[in-house]
């Protein structure tokens, strides 16, 4: 069977009863998604399947063959963290860290569909992710910080794209003017 995991094509033989979590952790050695409850209730195993948050402990691996899977490792790394990861670092929104995978992945999914969530939106999106250490205040602060960081990133990308388009248009106009004979040069 084939999957795209963190942008790379992956092919593995997995038993029919294998969950996506087992494939990710056991076969692919991706340890971002954690084994928590095994019932899809705690959120520690959360991943993105085609951009949508899902609990990998209850998803059959074969049922998502051919789909795009993103784990915590696929979002960013220590040198180049995803803005949500950076926000969780900035806000010190982890204590033991066990829930962190699910909280980060759920936040990425939330901000993809709602770039400027209210605290109530964030609470609702994260309500099924359990944090036993009580860092809920810091986690909510991290969601808002991530929204700011991602908005800044989008603005920077838009500015870059606009500058690139303007440079391309200027180059085309210059080339067109150079190639066209001027009216004064015509007899």
pLDDT for 61 equals 97
Q: How many residues does the chain have?
A: 187
What is d(CA 97, CA 89) in angstroms, rounded to the nearest whole number? 11
Do 92 and 173 sit in the same domain of this protein?
yes
Q: Comparing 21-35, 73-87, 155-169, which segment has the lowest mean pLDDT?
A: 155-169
Share above pLDDT 70 across residues of the chain, in percent, rounded to a whole number: 94
In this structure, the answer to whether residues 171 and 85 fall within a common structural domain is yes
pLDDT digits (tens, 9 = 90+) for 79-136: 999 999 999 999 999 888 899 999 999 999 999 999 999 999 999 999 999 998 888 8
115 plus 56 within the same structural domain: no
**Higher-confidence position of 148 and 95:** 148
The model carries a pTM of 0.84
Report residue 159's pLDDT band, with 50, 70 and 90 as the boundaries: confident
Whether residue 160 sits in one domain with residue 81: yes
Number of structural domains (the chain) is 2
Residue 186 has pLDDT above 60, yes or no: no
Cβ distance 69 to 54 under 8 Å? Answer: no
pLDDT averaged over every residue in the chain: 91
The reply to whether 40 and 86 lie within a common domain is no
Taking the C-alpha atoms of residue 69 and residue 62, their distance in angstroms, rounded to an integer, is 13
Q: 129 lies in which domain range?
A: 76-178
Cα 158 from chain centre: 19
Residues 47 and 94 in one domain: no
CB burial of residue 62 (10 Å; 0-12, 13-18, 19+): middle
């Amino acid at each position: 069977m084939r999957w795209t995991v963190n942008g790379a094509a992956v092919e593995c033989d997995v038993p029919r009863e294998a969950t996506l979590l087992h494939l990710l952790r056991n076969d692919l050695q991706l340890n971002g998604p954690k084994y928590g409850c095994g019932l899809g209730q705690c959120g520690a195993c959360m991943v993105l399947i085609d951009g949508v948050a899902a609990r990998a402990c209850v998803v059959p691996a074969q049922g998502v063959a051919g789909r795009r899977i993103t784990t915590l490792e696929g979002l960013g790394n220590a040198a180049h963290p995803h803005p949500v990861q950076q926000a969780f670092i900035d806000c010190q929104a982890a204590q033991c860290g066990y829930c962190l995978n699910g909280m980060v992945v759920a936040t990425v999914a939330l901000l993809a569909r709602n770039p400027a969530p209210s605290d109530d939106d964030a609470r609702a999106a994260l309500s099924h992710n359990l944090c036993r250490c009580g860092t809920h205040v810091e986690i909510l602060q991290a969601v808002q910080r991530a929204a700011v960081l991602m908005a800044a990133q989008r603005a920077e990308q838009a500015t870059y794209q606009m500058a690139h388009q303007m440079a391309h248009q200027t180059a085309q106009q210059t080339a067109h003017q150079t190639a066209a004979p001027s009216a004064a040069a015509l007899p």
